[in-house]
Amino acid sequence: MKLSDRTILITGAAGGLGSALAFKCAAAGANLVLLDKNRRALGDLSDRITDHGCEAPGLYPMDLAGAGFDDFTDLVETIKSAFNGLDALVHCALDFDGLQPLEQVAPQDWLRSLQVNVNAPWLLTCSVLPLLKQSANGRLFFLLDDLEEVTGAYWGSYGTGKAALAGMVKQFHETLSNTSIAVRGIIPGAMRTAFRAKVYHAENPLEQPDPVIVAGKIADMLENDCSTDGPMVDFSA
């Protein structure tokens, strides 16, 4: 199915990878629902997309840190009303404050991180699954990390959350294996993003690949057969 025939929801859409993926999908003619907590950044992204002659995306400002079941139910109803369905959900949103010893993480930061990185993806996914099941070629993608790295020292709640998210991907992959939905956990590898800059302060960001490269690979998976031997796709390998 061509991207021009698909409706795609991207969380963390104003971030480095999220915005690059939005551009790729918009250029291919997809119907987009872009979710991010930064309302101004979403507006700027929409302007850049339309300035390139693409259709204006649907914008949905939402802070996942405070989102609950009712908020996602409202989002589903909005998507049904505006687009009559949903073909793909790509989880790009993340919460990361920086590296620090586990015992020094403030309780409120721990809870917010797990809410954004684990709870919200689960709630949102469960909310949109009825729509994805109605698609002939549903896609459910989660952005992951190399667990050998992020579960090491100083990765705190972020590493814990990503380990939990990887487990969630495997469960969704197995439970939805008899449906039309392809579930994938994507490890993008190094990219020139604000997230990486928080981790590797001394690194020259210009030496890292542009997120556009990974965005192109994800766009191909959204449009074409993305079958693999398992649920994990490692672009860093």
The model's pLDDT over 166-190, given as tens digits with 9 standing for 90+, comes to 999 999 999 999 999 999 999 998 7
pLDDT at 204 over 80: no
pLDDT-derived band at 193, boundaries 50, 70, 90: confident
What value does the mean pLDDT of the chain take?
93
Residue 82 burial (CB count, 10 A):
12
pLDDT-derived band at 195, boundaries 50, 70, 90: confident
- pLDDT value for 1: 66
Tell me how many domains the chain contains: 1
For the stretch 98-125, pLDDT in tens is: 999 999 999 999 999 999 999 999 999 9
Print the domain residue range for 158: 3-234
pLDDT at 24 over 90: yes
Q: What's the token pair of residue 212?
A: 């556009």
pLDDT at 96 over 90: yes
CATH code at 54?
Answer: 3.40.50.720
SS3 130: helix
For the stretch 28-44, pLDDT in tens is: 999 999 999 999 999 99
User: What count of Cα atoms within 13 Å lies in the side-chain half-sphere of residue 231?
Assistant: 24
Q: What's the pTM value of the predicted model, to 2 decimals?
A: 0.95
pLDDT-derived band at 191, boundaries 50, 70, 90: confident
- pLDDT value for 45: 97
Cβ distance 30 to 3 under 8 Å? yes
